[in-house]
Structure formats: structure tokens, C-alpha cells
């Protein structure tokens, strides 16, 4: 196997390697006379990406009669392409024979320098294939990368999963149409209910497909899919660099979502390369998340009220103990906004210091009284008056 490429094809090839490296760790290569296939899968087997190159994509492409299968580490391939693409005239990749232990990568730079790398390969790779027909997905939409990137900018950068809810515009009830303006698509940040999400930001974004999408198709009941944001952003950067729109195909919660670059044709048969990203989705639907989460909240409030009635005495004692701390905390919060807050801090600290002084005096008297009581319990010598010893120790 041997292929050579340069100019715009080299830029596209470099973007493909970068996108694949953000999905998985190992690059599986399958070469035949009709196409060159790159694909990878992540460690949890929840994301799979494949990119197909046709012979017209390369300046030179030759494969022996026997198909070639091998795999290399994507980290090693990325280190080869660390040289700026603008400095590379052409890239040549050679595999002398199907059983060769290493793949040769040659970079010919404009400066006249030639860089040669040998990357160890596995001649018996774990080849994975997914047979999914894009035409069988009932719902799909096409969006420009810059528009999708702008929509994702409304969410936290640390968000791990996102939910897409698709509805039929004509099926929206009148009250819902007035509330959200008849927008048929919703993007919602997914927060794991099993974790502490008090500091997390929940975001819901309603979208009008006519304004944001190039094409939108959905009929029937509302559906939702929740999937990873990391792989979505990686594929988004790839399509944006190639100046291609993104075509998303999905069915329902628990079924995979498929993404592909949109070339203006459904199958991309007139393009010299094509790509596919398949992501697993969560089995649980998020459409009734609000209704399902309400009963536990009611039960929590009921238990809190019962505990408040049963332990009211303990709460009153805690309130008296913490009474001097609450004003200072609130004052500390507003100290940046109000100039008079510093006076409140000084007054509250002075009152707290006085209370601690009185408490220390009371504790000392109590200790003395307890000490006298302990001394009075000791056996007295004969002839002493017990009443006088208790009154005048």
C-alpha cells in the first residue's frame, strides 16, 4: 500500500486525523483498490467514527491485489503531523507488504527537508463495523457548523451530555406555541440526577428550525436523544474546517444518533471522501423529567416538616446558638455592594466578643461551683459541721 497527497487534500487529511484522535486512541486502516477506510472507537464503545477516502482524493494511490488491514496509535500519527501543514509539500505513506511490522510516513517540506517516520503497526487489528442506513432514521436536520457552534455557546463549557428534543411544529398545543413562540426543537443540558448538582447550571434553549436549520424533518410524537458533547464538538470542528454542513439522523432515546457531513447530496457519492460519527444515547427519556422529579421533592418537604415538629426544641437551641453568626454572614456577602456593611460587621463582632466574654465568666463560676461540690462530697473529719462546710468551703 502506498498513497501520496498534498495541498488541499493534505489539509483535509490532517483534519480527519485530528477528529479521529479526539474520538479514540487507535486508528484502524483498511485499504483496497476501491477505497481507503479509517475508523476508530472509544474505550467505552459509545462512539464510533469512520472516514472513507476514494482513490481520487490522493495524488498517488496504489494497493496490491490483497486488501490491507492494520492499526496504529493515533498519538503517533498526530506527532508526525505536528509539523505545520503550510510547510509540507506532500505526504507519502507506505506499507511494503501486508505483514510489515511498521508503516513509513514521509514528509517532504518546501524547504527541501525530508522527514521520515516509522510507526509500529498491528497486523491483526480489532476491526469494528456498523451497518446503519441513514435513510431509515425517521428524524433528521441539517445545520451549519457556525450556527450550531453559536447555539452550543449558550451552555457551560464543562457540560458532558446534551439533550435534543424534536417535535412536529404543527402538533404544538396553542398554549405551548404562545409560551415558546412555536419553536419545535429544544436543546437542554443534561445533569446526572445521582450527583450533587447544586452548583450546576441548567440551560434550556428553544429553536425555530426555519431560522437556525438548513433542513428539518420530524413527524409524530415528540422524541428526545441525550448524547455526549465531547464527540459532537470534535465532529463540529472537522465539518467547520472542511466548510461542510452537519447532517444529524436520530430516532428516539436509547437508539444511536448518526452524524455525517452534508455535501448537498444525501449519500455524498460525488465527493472523494465521506465521514460518519455514531454516538450511543441514553436509554432514559428526558421528556417527563420534571414530572418524575416532583414527588421526591414533595416527600422531602413532608419529612422535613415532620422532623421540624418532632425536634422543634433542638432547632430552637441551634437557632439561639447561631443567632450571632447569621447576620455577620449576610453582611459579609453584601460588603462589596454596601459601604455601611463594614459597620455592621464591626458591631456584630463586638457583640460576639462581649457574648464570649460573658460566657467565659459564667463558665469559670460554674467550674468553681462544681469544684466546691466535688470537695464537699469527700469524707469530713470528725467534729466538723457539714452545713458549715457546704456554706463556707
- Reduce the DSSP state of residue 342 to 3 states and report it: helix
Contacts of 206 (CB under 8 A, 6+ apart): 180, 181, 183, 185, 186
With 70 as the cut, is the pLDDT of residue 279 above it? yes
**What's the pLDDT at 202?**
87
Indicate if the pLDDT at residue 97 is higher than 50.
yes
CA pair distance 361, 355, nearest whole angstrom: 10
Mean pLDDT of the chain: 77
pLDDT tens for 347-388 read 445 555 555 554 455 555 554 444 444 444 444 444 444 444
Least confident of 89-93, 143-147, 331-335: 331-335
Q: Is residue 44's pLDDT more than 60? A: yes
* Reported pTM: 0.70
pLDDT of residue 126: 77
pLDDT of res. 376? 40
Q: Which long-range contacts (CB under 8 A, 24 or more apart) does 345-351 make?
A: 348/324, 351/324
Q: Please, which residues bridge with residue 185 across strands?
A: 166, 207
> What is the rounded distance in angstroms from the CA atom of residue 144 to the CA atom of residue 375?
89
More confident residue, 174 or 296: 174
Asked whether the predicted pLDDT for residue 319 surpasses 50, the reply is no
DSSP H helices, 220-311, are 229-241, 289-310
Given a cut of 80, is residue 245 above it in pLDDT? yes
Which residues, 6+ apart, have CB-to-CB distance to 80 below 8 Å? Answer: 105, 107, 117, 119
Distance of CA 121 to the CA centre of its chain: 32
Contacts (Cβ under 8 Å, ≥6 apart) of 339: none
125: pLDDT strictly greater than 90: no
pLDDT in tens, 175-190: 554 555 568 899 999 8
Find out whether 258 and 277 touch, Cβ atoms under 8 Å: yes
Least confident of 197-211, 260-274, 343-357: 343-357
Q: What is the mean pLDDT of residues 215-243?
A: 94
* Of 268, 224, 218, nearest in space to 246 by CA: 268
Give the Å distances, CA to CA, from 262 to 18, 143, 165, 185.
19, 9, 22, 20
**DSSP state at residue 220:** S
Position 301 scores a pLDDT of 42
Q: Which domains are present in the chain?
A: 2-122 (3.70.10.10), 139-173+180-279 (3.70.10.10)
The kind and range of the H/E element at 225 are strand 223-228
Amino acid at each position: 500500500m502506498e498513497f501520496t497527497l498534498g495541498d488541499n487534500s493534505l489539509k483535509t487529511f490532517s483534519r480527519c486525523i485530528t477528529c479521529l484522535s479526539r474520538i479514540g486512541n487507535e486508528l484502524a486502516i483498511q485499504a483496497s483498490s476501491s477505497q481507503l477506510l479509517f475508523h476508530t472507537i472509544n474505550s467505552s464503545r459509545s462512539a464510533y467514527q469512520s472516514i472513507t477516502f476514494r482513490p481520487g482524493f490522493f495524488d498517488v494511490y496504489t494497493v496490491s491485489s490483497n486488501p490491507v488491514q492494520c492499526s496504529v496509535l493515533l498519538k503517533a500519527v498526530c506527532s508526525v503531523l505536528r509539523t505545520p501543514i503550510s510547510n509540507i509539500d506532500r505526504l507519502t505513506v507506505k506499507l511494503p507488504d501486508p505483514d510489515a511490522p511498521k508503516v513509513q510516513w514521509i514528509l517532504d517540506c518546501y524547504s527541501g527537508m525530508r522527514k521520515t517516520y516509522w510507526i509500529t503497526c498491528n497486523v491483526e487489528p480489532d476491526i469494528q463495523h456498523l451497518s446503519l442506513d441513514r435513510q431509515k432514521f425517521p428524524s433528521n436536520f441539517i445545520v451549519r457548523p457556525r450556527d450550531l457552534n453559536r447555539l452550543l455557546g449558550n451552555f457551560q463549557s464543562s457540560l458532558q451530555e446534551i439533550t435534543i428534543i424534536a417535535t412536529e411544529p404543527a402538533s404544538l398545543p396553542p398554549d405551548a406555541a404562545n409560551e415558546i413562540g412555536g419553536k419545535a426543537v429544544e436543546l437542554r443540558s443534561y445533569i446526572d440526577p445521582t450527583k450533587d448538582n447544586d452548583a450546576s447550571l441548567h440551560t434550556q434553549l428553544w429553536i425555530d428550525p426555519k431560522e437556525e436549520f438548513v433542513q428539518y424533518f420530524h413527524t409524530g410524537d415528540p422524541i428526545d436523544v441525550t448524547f455526549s458533547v465531547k464527540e459532537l464538538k470534535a465532529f463540529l470542528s472537522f465539518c467547520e474546517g472542511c466548510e461542510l454542513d452537519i447532517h444529524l439522523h436520530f430516532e428516539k432515546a436509547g437508539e444511536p444518533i448518526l452524524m455525517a457531513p452534508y455535501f448537498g447530496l444525501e449519500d455524498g457519492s460525488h465527493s472523494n471522501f465521506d465521514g460518519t460519527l455514531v454516538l450511543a444515547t441514553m436509554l432514559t427519556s428526558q421528556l417527563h423529567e420534571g414530572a418524575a422529579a416532583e414527588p421526591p421533592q414533595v416527600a422531602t418537604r413532608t419529612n422535613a416538616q415532620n422532623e421540624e415538629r418532632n425536634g422543634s426544641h433542638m432547632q430552637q437551641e441551634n437557632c439561639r446558638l447561631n443567632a450571632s453568626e447569621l447576620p455577620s454572614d449576610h453582611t459579609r456577602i453584601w460588603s462589596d455592594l454596601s459601604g455601611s456593611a463594614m459597620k455592621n460587621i464591626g458591631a456584630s463582632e463586638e457583640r460576639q466578643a462581649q457574648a464570649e466574654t460573658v460566657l467565659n465568666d459564667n463558665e469559670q463560676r460554674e467550674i468553681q461551683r462544681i469544684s466546691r461540690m466535688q470537695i464537699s462530697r469527700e469524707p469530713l473529719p470528725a467534729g466538723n459541721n457539714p452545713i458549715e462546710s457546704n456554706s463556707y468551703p
